[in-house]
Structures are given as C-alpha cells and as structure tokens.
Amino acid sequence: MPGEDSLLPDLDPAVQENLRELMQDDYLLLLDTFIIDAEKRLGQLRTFLASGDLESFRRCAHSFKGSSGNMGALALQQVCTLAEQAGIHGDAGAAGDALERIEQCYRQLRPQLHP
C-alpha cells in the first residue's frame, strides 16, 4: 500500500550511527531487544484489533511508535502514528489498514537490523 511511509527511509543512518557509538559493544543487544519487542507488539496489536479493544490498540501503537523512533525506524514510526490515530478515533477499519502497513514496514525493516 503506497503512502507517506513509502517516502521515508526504513532506518535513519544518523540515528543508527549515534546508537552504535553510544551503545558500542551492546549495540547488537539493543537491536535484538528491539526485534523481540517489535514482534511482541505486533502480536499485541493483532490481538487488540481482533478483540475490538481499540484503546489498548492505541496504547500499544503509541509505545511501538516511540521505540521505532528511538531506533530511527522512520517509516515504521510513521505508520504507528496512523495506527495510534485510528485507535483514538475508534476506527477499526483504519486500524486494520494501519496494522497491515506496520507489518509491511516491519518485514521490510527486519533484515536491515543486523550489520
């Protein structure tokens, strides 16, 4: 699905370089932690959407947006914002569309998370 997120890079190289410098030997651990957390959040988003719990969906999307931003995952951060907005407005259809885009962005991002 084309959208604004397709114009954003998967990863901001400047953020990744700063994280490498800051984390040094723990950089790979940071990446692994992000991957584990991202996959957990994807499962939670699916569960919340399926159960119609759009407030929990919104909160999870908000948290995922923050962690994506911290990692410099710009396209993923953008689609998490869309998911959060769908939750705020109680729009299950938009939430489903946003979740599909989140999954697509994450599938595209995931192979780039290990040097």
CATH of the domain at 82: 1.20.120.160
Does the residue 31 lie in any domain? yes
Q: Taking the mean position of all CA atoms in its chain, how far away is CA 95?
A: 14
**pLDDT tens column, 64-104:** 999 999 999 999 999 999 999 999 999 999 999 999 999 99
22-68 pLDDT tens trace: 999 999 999 999 999 999 999 999 999 999 999 999 999 999 999 99
Q: What is the pTM of this model?
A: 0.90
- Does 82 fall in a domain? yes
Domain that holds residue 52: 23-113
> In sequence order, which residues have a C-beta less than 8 Å from that of residue 57 and are 6 or more positions away?
45, 48, 49, 83, 86, 87, 95
Q: Residue 13 domain-assigned?
A: no
Residue 2 domain-assigned? no
For residues 57 and 72, what is the distance between their CA atoms, to the nearest angstrom? 22
Q: For the chain, how many structural domains are there in total?
A: 1
Is residue 15, in this structure, part of any structural domain at all?
no
